A and B are shown apart, each in its own frame.
Chain A
Amino acid sequence: MTIFESELKKGNFVISECGNCKTIVWPPNDYCNNCLSNVTWRKVNPTGRLIEFSKKDEKIFGMIELEGKIRIIGKLKINQSDIKDGQCVRLHSCNYDNGPQFTFVSCNGHY
Chain B
Amino acid sequence: MNKVAIVGYGNTKFSSEDKPIEILLTSATRSLFDQTRNIEQKDIDVILVSTNDNTKYLSAILSELTGISPKISHTVENLCSSGTNSIVSAYSYIVSGLADMALVVGADRCDCPGQILEWDISRGEFMHPVFWASIFTKSHKRKFGTTQEDLAVVSAKNHNNARFNPHAYSDKTYSIDEILQSKFVTDDLHLLDCSRPCSGASSVLLASENVAKKFEHPIWIKGIGQKTTSASITKNENLTTMTSTKIAAKQAFDMAKIQTNDVDVVELHDAFTICEIMALEDMGFVKKGSGAAYVRELHDTQDNKINPRGGLIGSGHPLGATGVAQVVEVTQQLQGKAEKRQIKSASIGLVHNMSAAATSSTVLLLQS
A28-B121, A55-B187 known; A61 vs B126 contact (CB < 8 Å): yes
Decide yes or no whether B115 CB sits under 8 A from chain A. no
| A55–B139 CA distance with the chains assembled, in angstroms | 13
User: Other CB < 8 Å A-B pairs besides A54-B186, A100-B124, 4 of them?
Assistant: A26-B122, A63-B233, A72-B121, A102-B125
| A56–B134 CA distance with the chains assembled, in angstroms | 9
| A71–B124 CA distance with the chains assembled, in angstroms | 10
Output the least CB separation between B93 and chain A (Å). 31
A residues less than 8 Å from B120 (CB atoms) = 27
A residues less than 8 Å from B280 (CB atoms) = none
A75, B239: Cβ atoms under 8 Å? no
Which residues 58-84 in A have Cβ within 8 Å of B in the complex? 61-63, 70-75
The residue that A70 contacts in the complex, of B142, B188, B234, with Cβ under 8 A, is B234
The 6 closest A-B pairs by CB, nearest first: A71-B234, A54-B134, A55-B187, A56-B186, A73-B126, A102-B124
B233, A100: Cβ atoms under 8 Å? no
A26-B122, A28-B121 known; A99 vs B134 contact (CB < 8 Å): no
- List the B residue with the shortest CB-CB distance to A5: B121
B residues less than 8 Å from A26 (CB atoms) = 122, 232, 234
Decide yes or no whether A101 CB sits under 8 A from chain B. yes
Decide yes or no whether B65 CB sits under 8 A from chain A. no
A residues less than 8 Å from B122 (CB atoms) = 26-27, 70-73
- List the B residue with the shortest CB-CB distance to A55: B187
B239, A51: Cβ atoms under 8 Å? yes
Decide yes or no whether B127 CB sits under 8 A from chain A. yes
| A27–B124 CA distance with the chains assembled, in angstroms | 11
Q: Mark B90-132, 1 if CB is under 8 A from A, else 0.
A: 0000000000000000000000000000111111111100111
B residues less than 8 Å from A63 (CB atoms) = 135, 233, 239
| A26–B118 CA distance with the chains assembled, in angstroms | 15
| A53–B119 CA distance with the chains assembled, in angstroms | 22
Decide yes or no whether B196 CB sits under 8 A from chain A. no
Most buried by B among A61, A63, A75, A102: A63
| A62–B126 CA distance with the chains assembled, in angstroms | 10
B residues less than 8 Å from A4 (CB atoms) = 121
* B contact residues vs A (CB 8 Å cutoff): 118-127, 130-132, 134-135, 137-139, 142, 185-188, 232-234, 239
| A4–B122 CA distance with the chains assembled, in angstroms | 11
| A26–B234 CA distance with the chains assembled, in angstroms | 8
Decide yes or no whether A30 CB sits under 8 A from chain B. no
* A contact residues vs B (CB 8 Å cutoff): 4-5, 26-28, 51-56, 61-63, 70-75, 85, 99-102
A73, B135: Cβ atoms under 8 Å? yes
A54-B186, A56-B186 known; A101 vs B124 contact (CB < 8 Å): yes
A residues less than 8 Å from B232 (CB atoms) = 26-27
A26-B234, A73-B135, A99-B118 known; A56 vs B187 contact (CB < 8 Å): yes
A residues less than 8 Å from B138 (CB atoms) = 52-54
| A66–B186 CA distance with the chains assembled, in angstroms | 25
- List the A residue with the shortest CB-CB distance to B139: A52
A residues less than 8 Å from B186 (CB atoms) = 54-56
B residues less than 8 Å from A102 (CB atoms) = 124-125
| A70–B259 CA distance with the chains assembled, in angstroms | 37
| A75–B239 CA distance with the chains assembled, in angstroms | 18
Output the least CB separation between B191 and chain A (Å). 12
Output the least CB separation between B232 and chain A (Å). 5
The residue that A73 contacts in the complex, of B131, B185, B187, with Cβ under 8 A, is B131
A74, B234: Cβ atoms under 8 Å? no
| A72–B249 CA distance with the chains assembled, in angstroms | 28
Q: List 30 A-B contacts (CB under 8 A).
A: A4-B121, A27-B120, A27-B121, A52-B138, A52-B239, A53-B135, A54-B131, A54-B135, A54-B186, A54-B187, A55-B186, A56-B130, A56-B187, A61-B126, A61-B131, A63-B239, A71-B122, A71-B233, A71-B234, A73-B122, A73-B123, A73-B126, A73-B131, A73-B132, A73-B233, A99-B127, A100-B124, A100-B125, A101-B124, A102-B125
Output the least CB separation between A72 and chain B (Å). 5
Output the least CB separation between B139 and chain A (Å). 5
